Amino acid sequence: MPFIAAAIGYVTKRVAIEMMFRPLRFIGIWPPYLGWQGVVPRSSARMIRVSAQLITTRLIDPREIADRLDADEVARRIQGPLLLTIEEIARDVMERYHPQLWEMLPVLAQDLIIKQVQAGAPVMVKKIMHEIRSDIGEVLDVEQVAVEALQRDKELLVRLIRDISRPEMAFIARCGIYFGFVLGIVQTAVWALTQEPLILPIFGASIGWLTDWLAIKLVFFPRERTRILGIFPFQGVFQRRRAEVARQYGELVAREVMTVPNIIDGILRGPKSDRLLTMIQRIVQKTVDEQASIAKPFVAVAVGTKRFQEMKHAAADKAMTYLGDTALRAEPYATEALDIGNTIAAKMNRLSRVEYEGLLRPAFRQDEWKLIAVGAVIGGLVGELQALLLLH
């Protein structure tokens, strides 16, 4: 009986763990009542918000991150593709707005106009970066970047929680064996004294319920390191692994969520991108005015002042379409400079015990009673089977 009880404890834990993460989509005939969807996937909307808020309010300061980027180094990294982009934009705008004038110009004159505009590229990049850094909150919604990254890949949240909690899941499964065996000894003694078949399903359900409940609690509690009987040191497994979890979580977020492409996409196409567009239009138009000073009087007379203003607007709009691809040329430098993984790890180690617990606890809190109930049902069924075998 103790060995069967240990098996019940282990099996109910493994089932509970799998039910945490699988299936990704609801399987059944009457959602959400007749069927099942993994606890984490079903609660993904709430958990994504919790994770995103933790990342953006406690772990990442947009201004601190943005200040790590050196404008000169960014300009140097993207200089080649930037100059080619500027040339393409200049030729496209001139050919579109005044093809006859552009074709009449000698090649040398065309190149001179383009090179004049290109000359202002490094200064333009620095101005744009200065504007973004000085008012990063107005052009980048970091929480939205995190939310969209987690929503885009439904398996990402599951992978994020499962990877950082793997040792905790193994601990829960092992607890089922130990607690089940101990309770099985008690069950054996009660059965020997009473010979009552009903004892077996009752104990089976109790083992499934109690071992599930106790194993989940021991993942998080006690929060502070304490001693059992004043001798044996003990602390919740998740709390004890804080340094390891912080490093692992930081690496996962930096690699999967707060990546340079995701941040750039959040700046260019996020809810605050219209402010960035206005800012870039202003800077690009000013740069065109400053650097095209040689040809400006000639062009303004030839095409008209209003037409010239439209050309500058078109150049700014087109610059926005190229900005993402051009900026990504600095991705290796930006990834290293931002150092998001180590930043998150360092700040996680400074969280309070309760705040740190909030990283994983939401995955259990709302639906842990269902996991415990399933453990009780499985334990009861195994106990009933055990009783039938003994009776026959």
| pLDDT score, position 101 | 62
Amino acid 291: pLDDT: 59
Contact 267, 140 (CB under 8 A): yes
Output the pLDDT for position 198: 81
Query: pLDDT, tens digit, for every residue of 26-59?
Result: 888 877 677 778 877 877 777 777 777 777 777 8
For the record, the structure tokens of 357 come out as 């617990």
| Least confident among 49-58, 200-209, 302-311, 352-361 | 302-311
**Phi then psi dihedrals of residue 311, to 5 deg:** -65, -40
pLDDT for the residue numbered 252: 85
Q: Which residue has the higher pLDDT, 145 or 86?
A: 145
Residue 301: pLDDT band by 50, 70, 90 thresholds?
low
Collect all residues with Cβ–Cβ distance below 8 Å to 34 and sequence separation of at least 6.
28
More confident residue, 292 or 68: 68
Looking at residue 288, its pLDDT comes to 66
Structure token digits, residue 8:
């019940």
For 104-139, write each residue's pLDDT tens digit.
666 776 677 677 666 777 777 777 777 777 777 777
C-alpha–C-alpha distance, residues 268 and 265, integer Å: 5
Tokens of 376: 């009780």
Cβ contact 237:357 at 8 Å: no
Model-wide pTM > 0.75: no
Portion of the chain with pLDDT greater than 70, in percent: 84
For range 96-106, the mean pLDDT: 66
Residue with tokens 């004043």: 230
**Mean pLDDT for the chain overall:** 77
In total, the chain counts a number of residues equal to 392
Q: With bands split at pLDDT 50, 70 and 90, how would you rate the model's confidence at 19? A: confident
Site of tokens 């009752």: 202
Pairwise CA distance, residues 268 & 227, whole Å: 53
Going by pLDDT thresholds of 50, 70 and 90, the confidence category of residue 294 is: low
Range 240-252 average pLDDT: 86
pLDDT tens by residue, 161-181: 888 888 888 887 888 788 778
